[in-house]
Each structure stands twice: as structure tokens, then as C-alpha cells.
Amino acid sequence: GEHVNISSNVSIGGEGFGFVPGPKGLVRLSHIGRVLIGNRVAIGSNCAIDRGGLGDTVIGDMTALDNLVQIGHNVRIGKGCVFAGQAGVAGSATIGDYVMVGGAVSISDHVTVGNGAKIAGKSGVMRDVAAGETVAGYPAIPVRQWHRQSVALAKLAKKSD
């Protein structure tokens, strides 16, 4: 893309993490796809973006990756997304447009995150996230539910003192 800012120590196009069991142990799957980076993308230091297996890994226009972000093979990220430091997206996940991902978030493989979704820091996304939804926790659940559970747990802990 045009006007892409790539910081120091970034790895783009490394082989994805794919293995299958073979008669003599694990066999690495070849990854022959590409990495396609849109216009006005910012990639922070020490990020790793794996190339696709058969298809491509795609980073959409105006997306920003903070330092230490991992993007797995075949991930498709829409436009205008923001990923805070230490976030990781496993292979074949689909991230919509204008998604905000907090620091140290983990997104599982083959998950879809809808347009405009927000994921709180340190959350673990193991299911699809609907467009516009805000999730938090591990496993990530709707943020209001997470807050209610956190308050209930604190009350239980206080009673046991």
C-alpha cells in the first residue's frame, strides 16, 4: 500500500504456524500465500505478520498495529482497525472494519469479529464477536456481563473473609 509506516524489527511474510502429524513426527505445511498491506497502515516495532497458507493475509487500509503484535496466517483485517501492544490473532480469523483490540488480547483461529467491535485488554476471544459488540474477560463475554460477574465474585470473596 501507499504511505505505509513499518517500524524496526518487523517480520512480514514469515511462514505460518501449521503442522500435521506424519509417520516420522510433525510435518510443516508449506505456506505459499502472500501478505497484502493496505494504504496508510502503521506497523509498530517487533510485529510479526505471517503469510497465508494458500490464500493471503490481509491488513486493511488505515489499520494500526502497536508494538509486538502477532498476525497469523490467512488472517483478514478490515480497514481502520487498531491493535494495542502484545495482541495476537491466530490463523484464519476475520476482523471487520474499525475494530478496536486492547493490549495482550488473544483472538483464536477461525473466529470472526464484526465491524466496530471492541475487545478489552487481556481478553481471550474464543467465539465470534458480533458487529458493534464490546467484550471483555477470559473467555471474552459481553462487557456488561463481565462487569456483573466481577462484582459478584468480589462480593463472594469478601463474604469469605
Q: Is 31 designated active site?
A: no
Q: Looking at the DSSP assignment, which residues form a beta bridge with residue 48?
A: 11, 70
* Cβ neighbours of residue 139 closer than 8 Å, sequence gap 6 or more: 124, 125, 126, 127
DSSP conformation class of 127? S
Write out the three cell numbers for 140: 471474552
Contact indicator for 135, 151 with CB cutoff of 8 Å: no
Q: What share of the chain is helix, strand, coil (3-state, %, to 5)?
A: 10, 35, 55
**How would you classify the pairing of strands 134-136 and 141-142?**
antiparallel
**List 3, 73, 110, 147, catalytic entry:** 73
Three-class SS of residue 43?
A: strand
Task: Kindly list the catalytic residues.
Answer: 73
